[in-house]
Amino acid sequence: MRRVVVKEAMRLPRDEKLIAIAYLVDSSVLHIRERYKDGELIKYSYHLMKGDKVIRWDNVPHHKEISTYPHHKHENDKVKESNKMGIGLVLEEIKNFSFTKKPLLKK
């Protein structure tokens, strides 16, 4: 069963902000934060959690040592390179990833 709960969404004159929480089939939770300006995604954070395991893709401008700066991925305590992400790309990665052997989304 897939459920999505939209926690907050607001539309401003030329800005859009989305904050949502998705509960996935393996009991993991995906927190989605996106900020758009003039229709372009300018800030994002996709935070996937299950138990004490965490994966987060974001473009917060820290970790200048990463070659894909400002885009990066957190896997628990490790910071890794990542391409610019959007919700579609994140969902594709999640389909092929699992904290166990079971997929997070039904294919």
105 falls within a domain: no
78 falls within a domain: yes
103 falls within a domain: no
16 falls within a domain: yes
Domain span holding position 22: 3-95
Q: What is the pLDDT along the chain (107 residues), one digit of tens a residue?
A: 444 555 555 555 567 888 888 888 778 899 999 998 888 899 999 999 988 889 999 999 999 999 999 999 999 889 999 999 999 899 888 877 766 555 455 55
Integer Cα distance of 37 and 13 in angstroms? 10
**Number of domains observed in the structure of the chain:** 1
DSSP assignments along 4-56, one per residue: EEEEEEEE-SSEEEEEEEEE-TTS-EEEEEEEEETTEEEEEEEEEEETTEEEE
pTM: 0.79
Integer Cα distance of 23 and 42 in angstroms? 25
102 falls within a domain: no
